[in-house]
């Protein structure tokens, strides 16, 4: 309800420096296209080892031969992937992260889904998804060779040059990173020796040894596909920014906000359930047609001088910039106010040069403002880069993306969404365009043919299931809702709540200017509360000055032990006032509170609707219950976890943790774990789980026989950390409760940021799939027990599905039951009378983590932990 509530917490975890055993080390056990998808693979007795056994991608044989078993094999896998990626990514530094969590095989540990992981209920719906099958010749394989030099040659370029003196032997189609060579065809001999001569007349023996024949589904091969595909996107003259490619020719300018939007594509090629497929989606890059220096000047005129540097840093730090002279992106980590472009730096050859001269000489770029500060970017560890931070000149940098301030700017987001929110019909048409580009470009076709690859001309189509809608239960009444809107606000209006909490003793704090608004609100609340069953008395009205201290004093003076809730009418969305109120009322003086902007209350046409929402929210914050759905599972505790990563203040992360306390899932216990730098998040989570179990015992006089954890806030490439560290810790925690206590544990990773899109095909047209659409075939991954649910309905644009990956499960629950339970939980978020995108516990955990991360910065008082005070 406040401005902040609209703000999104961006649940993007900090980049992981050290990656998982990536490509080379992955357990590539899965079916080739054409093989039976559900064929049982021979299981290894010890199913889960932190370092998966490697079965493919042995690139550097000589090194491998004498490597002892165990941990030291890990870096070898890394080397392979890093080396390979350099092929295409050397212009932006090799990336070592495995964004697709390849090689984390969790399904093999879950016995009851070995044969089938698909659900059964619901009606069939014809779906089309944004995937294209990758087609290859029959018996296609990629041949991996190790290339050795004698005498040893250091420079990669030299190694390439020497090798390609033998292009006749190798052929025109090849990929070489300096040591590993990939060819689409097999050389005549397993070991080939050739001689080349260097410029200095030195003769070099080159030994080309076959190390691997890679089937199309091997992880190395998949990574190779992705590299080839990136080449293709470049050939299509798309511009690379970050991980994606964009088409500047179709750019859209939004002059009101000095924004430029580039349409583009995200793409990745992976092994899915039955096929290797390209997942392609439309993506938009927001750029700004002003330099960082322009931005700084504009900001300077908008804020007071004393706070300028702070605000400027807050706005800029963390943003990604492009430069005028190269095609790299940099993250702004700091602003050096003492620096300026006349300062000098030491070049690689040891000479000193000033920034002004350097940019003039090398790039013919004139720097006009010699007094501007400089930006500092700390590069992530890269093999070839110089140590130390990169200094950037604001005048030569352009901002990309949106700042937090812009995200909160409703008008700006509205103007943007006109261009970026495509309806399903249009979206699938745009996605098909990529395929057309590939098909119609001669060079691209040639490249693909040389490698013996191609893409299916149609989007993938397959059947999905729409599970039946839930019945909303509220005080003996049963409601159906219109599945098209997935919203029951109209249906349940005027029905008593399951558990209304009386408003006997409450405070209403407002400024003089908002006196009328506050009064009107009270009157409206008197009108809407009786039908809900809420007993309400007049509020204690307190008028304060519009200053933070005035609010604080009012709170300190007027709160009594009997106060149910504090209501504050705020006149502006200034964050400090809100933070101060929340901090005081969540830690020092634990009382639920409701802050609402005066502006929200001021519009007469929406006043009643707003009052209704506020009444419901206040009721939840005081521990009331609104509605429920039928939950057939007994003795189950549902846990939701989400993280908030504070990028600015001390870089701490907060995990929100909520756990259901009753059978109807209407009451939730909550805690949060504040993690300082260098500390494992899981330590805090263990403590949270322990207290939750204790609390469950208090409520139910027994311990839950099942615990189901919905874990949100897991970044790309972090799955292995979860499997190897977090899950064992949960198990440990459950074991520590008592010797005879052995509950069944299910851990489900919830992911909202996906590239997968589903379209419901109705004749010739494409629509959003209805809420309750479940997908557990084709686009899922063979090595996971995973599924997608489209749970929410959207009015504009395309609905995005949520991905659920069951990484640990001893519950023996049928996949259908897990799917249904998950969908049911999406009905239980009390801040929205409708179905939401994630299970309610995830959304509650998110709200809690966001409140703590944004405003409170430490764990709230545990006296509040049995209520939804963080809504």
Partner 1 sequence: MDKNFEEGQFQGTIKFTPPLSKQRYQFIKDLVAKYSPKKVADLGCADCKLLWMLKFCSCIEVLVGLDISASIMKEKMHMLSPLPVDYLQPTERSLSVTLYHGSVAHKDPCMLGFDLVTCIELIEHLEESELKKFPEVIFGFMAPSIVVISTPNVEFNTLLPGVTSFRHPDHKFEWNRVQFQSWALETARRYDYSVEFTGVGHSPRGVENIGFCTQIGVFLRKYPQTSGFALSEKSSETVYKTVFKAVYPSLKDEKYLQNTLVGEVVFTAQIIKQSLLNHLMSESEEHNDNTTARKAQLQPCFSNDMRKLGVEKSMEPFVKGKVVYVPLKTIFSFPKVNQLCGTFEKLCKLIAGKVKLSSDGYALMLSTEHED
Interface ranges with partner 1 (CB under 8 A): 91, 164, 167, 172, 197, 199-202, 234, 237, 239, 241, 246, 248, 251, 253, 255-256, 258, 260, 262, 287-289, 291, 301-302, 304, 322-327, 349, 362-365, 398, 411, 546
Question: Pick from 496, 447, 548: which is nearest to 232 by CA?
Answer: 447
352 vs 740 by CB, closer to partner 1: 352
Integer CA distances (angstroms), 516 to 523, 543, 798, in order: 11, 11, 41
**C-beta of 546 vs 816, nearer to partner 1:** 546
How far is it, in rounded angstroms, from Cα 772 to Cα 761? 16
Report CA-CA distances (Å) from 56 to 34, 80, 224, 274, 532: 20, 11, 13, 20, 63
Residue 182 Cβ vs partner 1, minimum distance, rounded to whole Å: 16
Shortest spacing between CB 203 and partner 1, in angstroms: 10
| Nearby residues of 421 by Cβ (< 8 Å), 6 or more positions away | 796, 797, 798
Which residues does 735 contact at the CB level (< 8 Å), separation at least 6? 741, 742
Assess contact for 518 and 541: CB atoms under 8 A: yes
Question: What CA–CA distances, in Å, run from 40 to 216, 595, 814?
Answer: 19, 56, 19
E strand segments, 695-741: 706-711
Q: Which residue do the tokens 């009997």 mark?
A: 562
Full DSSP string of 470-518:
PPEEETTEEE--BTTTTB-TTTTTTPPPSB---B-SEEEEEEGGGHHHH
| Rounded Cα–Cα distance for residues 191 and 181 (Å) | 13
Separation of alpha carbons 595 and 581, rounded Å: 9
490 vs 512 by CB, closer to partner 1: 512
Provide the token pair at 352: 């000193």
Asked whether the beta carbons of 850 and 842 are under 8 A apart, the reply is: no
Report the C-alpha gap between 464 and 858 in whole angstroms: 44
DSSP string, 733-751: HHHTT-TT---EEEEEEEE
Q: Is 491 among the residues known to form the active site?
A: no
Q: Catalytic site residue 343? A: no
Query: Please, which residue, 65 or 256, has the CB nearer to partner 1?
Result: 256
Alpha-helical regions (H) of 70-196 = 74-89, 156-163, 167-170
CA dist., res. 446 & res. 736, Å (int): 62
CB of 305 to partner 1, least distance (A): 10
- Give catalytic status of residue 846 as yes or no: yes
Measured from the CB of residue 245, what is the shortest distance to partner 1 in angstroms? 11
Nearest distance, CB of residue 571 and partner 1, angstroms:
9
Nearest to 275 by CA among 217, 321, 221: 217
Rounded to a whole number of angstroms, the minimum distance from the CB of residue 398 to partner 1 is: 5
Q: How far is the CB of 1 from partner 1 (least distance, A)?
A: 17
Nearest distance, CB of residue 448 and partner 1, angstroms: 15
Q: Is 809 a catalytic residue?
A: no
> Considering beta carbons, is residue 61 or 253 the nearer one to partner 1?
253
Q: Are 193 and 205 in contact (CB under 8 A)?
A: yes
List the catalytic residue out of 712, 726, 776, 786. Answer: 712
Whole-number Å distance between alpha carbons of 789 and 465? 10
Residue 154 C-beta: closest distance to partner 1, Å: 16
Residue closer to partner 1 (CB basis): 419 or 752? 419
Closer Cβ to partner 1, 322 or 376, answer by number: 322
Query: DSSP code of 834?
Result: B
β 123-129/460-466 pair status:
antiparallel
Contacts of range 407-414, beta carbons closer than 8 Å, 24 or more positions apart: 407/7, 407/8, 408/3, 408/6, 408/7, 408/573, 410/6, 412/256, 412/257, 412/259
The residue among 364 and 605 lying less far from partner 1, judged by its C-beta, is 364
Q: How far is the CB of 101 from partner 1 (least distance, A)?
A: 30
CA distance 722 to 689: 16
Q: Which of 91, 203, 630, 680 is catalytic?
A: 680
- Cβ closer to partner 1: 162 or 674? 162
At 454, is the secondary structure helix, strand, or coil? strand
Please state the separation of Cα 349 from the chain's center in Å.
Answer: 41
3-class SS of residue 402: coil
Between 368 and 560, whose beta carbon lies closer to partner 1? 368
Q: Which of 86, 395, 642, 783 is an active site residue?
A: 642
Q: Please say which residue, 294 or 859, places its beta carbon nearer to partner 1.
A: 294
- From the CB of 416, what's the least distance to partner 1, in Å? 14
Longest dimension (CA), the chain: 97
Catalytic (active-site) positions = 642, 680, 712, 846
């Amino acid at each position: 309800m406040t401005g902040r509530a609209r703000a999104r917490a961006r649940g993007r975890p900090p980049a992981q420096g050290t990656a998982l055993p990536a490509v080379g080390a992955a357990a590539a056990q899965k079916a080739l296209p054409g093989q039976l998808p559900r064929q049982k693979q021979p299981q290894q007795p010890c199913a889960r080892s932190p370092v998966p056994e490697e079965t493919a991608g042995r690139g550097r044989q000589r090194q491998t031969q004498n490597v002892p078993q165990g941990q030291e094999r890990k870096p070898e896998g890394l080397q392979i992937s890093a080396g390979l990626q350099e092929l295409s990514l050397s212009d932006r530094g090799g990336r070592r992260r495995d964004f697709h969590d390849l090689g984390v095989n969790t399904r093999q540990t879950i016995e009851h889904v070995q044969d089938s992981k698909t659900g059964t209920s619901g009606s069939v719906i014809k779906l089309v998804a944004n995937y294209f099958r990758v087609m290859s010749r029959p018996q296609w394989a990629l041949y991996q060779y190790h290339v050795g030099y004698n005498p040893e040659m250091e420079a990669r370029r030299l190694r390439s040059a020497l090798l390609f003196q033998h292009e006749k032997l190798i052929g025109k189609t090849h990929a070489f990173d300096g040591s590993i060579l990939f060819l689409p065809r097999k050389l005549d001999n397993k070991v080939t020796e050739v001689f080349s001569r260097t410029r200095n007349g030195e003769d070099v023996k080159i030994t080309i040894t076959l190390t691997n024949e890679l089937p199309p589904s091997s992880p190395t091969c998949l990574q190779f596909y992705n590299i080839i595909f990136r080449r293709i996107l470049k050939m299509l003259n798309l511009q690379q920014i970050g991980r994606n490619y964009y088409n500047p020719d179709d750019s859209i300018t939004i002059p009101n906000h000095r924004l430029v939007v580039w349409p583009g594509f995200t793409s990745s090629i992976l092994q899915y359930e039955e096929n290797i497929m390209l997942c392609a989606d439309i993506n938009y890059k927001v750029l700004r047609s002003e330099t960082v220096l322009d931005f700084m000047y504009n900001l300077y005129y908008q804020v007071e001088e004393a706070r300028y540097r702070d605000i400027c840093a807050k706005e800029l730090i963390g943003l990604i910039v492009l430069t005028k002279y190269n095609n790299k992106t940099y993250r702004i980590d700091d602003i050096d106010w003492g620096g300026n472009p006349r300062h000098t730096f030491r070049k690689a050859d040891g000479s000193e040069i000033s920034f002004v001269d350097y940019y003039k000489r090398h790039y013919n770029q004139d720097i006009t403002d010699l007094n501007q500060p400089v930006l500092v970017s700390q590069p992530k560890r890269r093999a070839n880069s110089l140590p130390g931070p990169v200094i950037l000149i604001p005048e030569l940098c352009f901002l990309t993306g949106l700042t937090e301030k812009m995200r909160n700017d409703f008008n700006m987001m509205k103007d943007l969404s006109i261009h970026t929110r495509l309806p399903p019909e249009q979206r699938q048409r745009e996605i098909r365009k990529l395929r057309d580009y590939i098909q119609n470009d001669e060079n691209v076709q040639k490249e693909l043919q040389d490698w013996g690859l191609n893409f299916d001309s149609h989007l993938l189509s397959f059947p999905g299931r729409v599970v039946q809608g839930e019945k909303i239960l509220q005080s003996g009444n049963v409601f159906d809702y219109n599945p098209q809107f997935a919203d029951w606000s109209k249906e349940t209006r005027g029905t008593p709540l399951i558990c209304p909490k009386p408003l006997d003793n409450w405070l209403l704090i407002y400024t003089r200017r908002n006196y009328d608004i506050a009064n009107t609100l009270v009157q409206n609340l008197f009108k809407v509360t009786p039908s809900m069953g809420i007993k309400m008395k007049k509020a204690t009205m307190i008028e304060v000055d519009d200053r933070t201290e005035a609010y604080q004093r009012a709170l300190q003076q007027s709160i009594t032990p009997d106060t149910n809730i504090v209501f504050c009418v705020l006149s502006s969305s200034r964050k400090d006032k809100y933070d101060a109120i929340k901090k005081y009322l969540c830690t020092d003086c634990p009382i639920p509170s409701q802050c609402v902007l005066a502006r929200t209350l001021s519009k007469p046409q929406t006043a009643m609707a707003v009052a209704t929402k506020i009444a419901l929210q206040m009721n939840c914050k005081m521990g009331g219950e609104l509605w429920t759905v039928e939950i057939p599972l007994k003795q189950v505790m549902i846990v939701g976890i989400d993280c908030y990563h504070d990028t600015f203040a001390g870089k701490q992360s907060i995990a929100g943790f909520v756990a259901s306390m009753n059978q109807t899932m209407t009451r939730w216990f909550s805690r949060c774990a504040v993690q300082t730098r260098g500390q494992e998040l899981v330590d805090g989570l263990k403590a949270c789980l322990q207290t939750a179990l204790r609390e469950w015992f208090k409520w139910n006089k027994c311990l839950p026989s099942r615990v189901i954890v919905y874990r949100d806030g897991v970044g790309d490439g972090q799955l292995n950390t979860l499997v190897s560290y977090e899950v064992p810790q949960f198990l440990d925690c459950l074991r520590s409760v008592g010797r005879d206590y052995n509950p069944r544990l299910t851990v489900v990773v919830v992911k909202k940021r996906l590239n997968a899109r589903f379209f419901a095909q109705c004749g010739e047209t494409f629509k959003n799939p209805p809420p309750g659409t479940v997908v557990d075939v084709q686009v899922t991954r063979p090595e996971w027990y995973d599924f997608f649910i489209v749970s929410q309905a959207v009015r504009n644009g395309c609905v995005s599905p949520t991905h659920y990956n069951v990484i640990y499960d001893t519950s023996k629950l049928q996949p259908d039951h897990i799917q249904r339970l998950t969908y049911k939980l999406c009905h239980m978020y009390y801040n929205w009378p409708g179905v939401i995108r994630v299970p309610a516990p995830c959304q509650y955990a998110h709200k809690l983590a966001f409140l703590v991360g944004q405003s409170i910065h430490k764990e709230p008082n545990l006296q509040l932990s049995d209520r939804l005070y963080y809504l």
